Amino acid sequence: MADTTKTATLTLDGKSYELPVHSPTAGPDVIDIRKLYGTAGVFTYDPGFTSTASCDSTITFIDGEEGVLLHRGYPIDQLAGKSHYLEVCYLLLYGELPTAAQLEKFETTITRHTMIHEQMHNFFRGFRRDAHPMATMVGVIGAMSAFYHDSTDISDPRQREIASHRLIAKMPTIAAMAYKYSIGQPFVYPRNDLDYAANFIHMCFSVPAEEYQVDPILSRAMDRIFTLHADHEQNASTSTVRLASSSGANPFACIAAGIACLWGPAHGGANQACLEMLKEIGTVDRIPEYIARAKDKNDPFRLMGFGHRVYKNMDPRATVMKESADEVLELLGVEDNPLLQVAKELEQIALNDPYFKEKKLFPNVDFYSGIILEAMGFPTSMFTPIFALSRTVGWISQWKEMLNDPQNKIGRPRQLYLGSTLRDYVDIEDRG
Ligand code: ACO
């Protein structure tokens, strides 16, 4: 816990209460209200946790006003430009960049755990063929606790580490299998001679009947998508993982909970929703109609892929993702794709529109990742599973940090109760 040198004073019904203030290494000070109920007998009220720090953490820092994102202190643009996903995984999990020997060992460990238990294939086959891959993933990841009992004892640090490695290693295999199952193609086993991103592309797009070469520019773009989604401090799915874990639930159950939360269109599901919106708009001339709808208070429509709870400036991940999108589109020669034309035009119109400027609504990372994934040939239903596989390391790192924290307690928010007060039960014949 950070040092407390300042205090805040709360005055309530004529009485004053001193509250400790913690100063973080970066970001705003935090008023510690833990003893407030015990001393003043009141709760605080913060639906959506817009002003509440739920934990202390050393993993990721975001300054939403300035558009800054740091993992263990390193800026995301440097990590996306100079590092690669598995090195970032090591950094998030262990706190420091690895030495060459540490990285080699880590990469070997992850590579050697990419296959899943053969019996899990049957589990996939229990789903309807047209199931959304996210639905399949929630089920299959949850089922891992039934297949890997030997890494569910969270009181054993070694078992926790094995579960972490298994999840990072097997997630691409499971996401690719969910995809293959949904299109009726045979599962493709992982290839340990390929790097993490290339292996995922190979498992998604190759078929046993043909030789398939992964384009290095595409695997680099895929690796960047993984890197840019690796962690994002206490967002909805990460907080879900922490809350699930606070009861002592096993790691596979906790990550399944995170995947379920991520699926929502206000969170990770936005990349699919964004591409579907672009398809619905269809042509550049229809953009003004949709911009007008997004601004209309009486219309629930929102421009998907725009806005963010924390970023009130350009999302630094979106800046890197946009560069990647330009690179990939050029490589694939699909700059003329009408959907991508709509995306580019929409971006320009929204960036210059007073409504979006005033409300500080910038394109977010999902806007550009959707464009890249579409160009690479992924169906929209795979966008959120790819986000989930990328974010697994973030969830796991936050889970690990939480379990090592001596202050860790079961999460139990309170409420502002507005229901009926005590009343007596009325027999059914007396209800009028
Ligand atoms: N289109 C139009 N108006 C918007 C949009 C949007 N995409 N986003 C926010 N606004 C408006 C709201 O109507 C509101 O207007 P008001 O002040 O007049 O009432 C104002 O901007 C603030 O919006 P809130 O909903 O209060 O902001 P919040 O922080 O709760 O929501 C969120 C953030 C959920 C991301 C929102 O911007 C949104 O729904 N965006 C579209 C979905 C999306 O792209 N989500 C991905 C997020 S990134 C991620 O998960 C990786």
Span 108-127, pLDDT tens digits: 999 999 999 999 999 999 99
CATH classification at residue 322: 1.10.230.10
Q: Residue 1 pLDDT > 70, yes or no?
A: no
Catalytic residue among 71, 132, 229, 308: 308
Cα dist from 57 to 30, 369, 388, whole Å: 13, 27, 21
Q: How many domains does the chain have?
A: 3
* Mean pLDDT computed over 297-321: 90
**373 CB within 6 A, ligand 1:** no
**Range(s) of the domain holding residue 43:** 3-53
143 and 254 share one domain: yes
From the DSSP assignment, how many helices (H) and strands (E) are in the chain? 18, 6
* Mean pLDDT computed over 394-411: 95
123 and 221 share one domain: yes
- 104 token code pair: 């080699």
**307 CB within 6 A, ligand 1:** yes
Could you say which of 265, 285, 306 is where a domain stops? 265
Distance 243 CA to ligand 1 centre (A): 24
Cα 158 versus chain centre, distance: 25
350 and 365 share one domain: yes
Q: What is the mean pLDDT of the chain?
A: 93
Asked if 366 is an active-site residue, the reply is yes
329 and 232 share one domain: no
Could you say which of 210, 242, 265 is where a domain stops? 265
For the CA of 302, the closest atom of ligand 1 is 1
194 and 323 share one domain: no
CATH classification at residue 44: 2.20.28.60
Span 229-275, pLDDT tens digits: 999 999 999 999 999 999 999 999 999 999 999 999 888 888 888 88
**359 CB within 6 A, ligand 1:** yes
Q: Residue 306 pLDDT > 70, yes or no?
A: yes
Nearest CA to ligand 1 atom 34: 266
Q: What is the pTM of this model?
A: 0.91
Q: Quick check: is 395 in a domain?
A: no
**113 CB within 6 A, ligand 1:** no
99 and 219 share one domain: yes
Sequence-ordered list of residues with C-beta below 8 angstroms from that of 388, at least 6 positions apart, any chain = 134, 137, 171, 175, 258, 259, 262, 268
Catalytic residue among 132, 366, 424, 427: 366
Asked if 117 is an active-site residue, the reply is no
142 and 259 share one domain: yes
What DSSP line would sit under 291-358, residue for residue? HHHHH-TT-----TTB--SS-SS--HHHHHHHHHHHHHHHHHT-TT-HHHHHHHHHHHHHHH-HHHHH
Contact call for residues 234 and 55 (beta carbons, < 8 A): yes
Distance 403 CA to ligand 1 centre (A): 32
**308 CB within 6 A, ligand 1:** yes
254 and 275 share one domain: no
**302 CB within 6 A, ligand 1:** yes
Q: Quick check: is 384 in a domain?
A: no
Q: Quick check: is 386 in a domain?
A: no
Q: From CA 17, how far away is CA 11, in angstroms rounded?
A: 6
Place of tokens 């699909």: 334
244 and 115 share one domain: yes
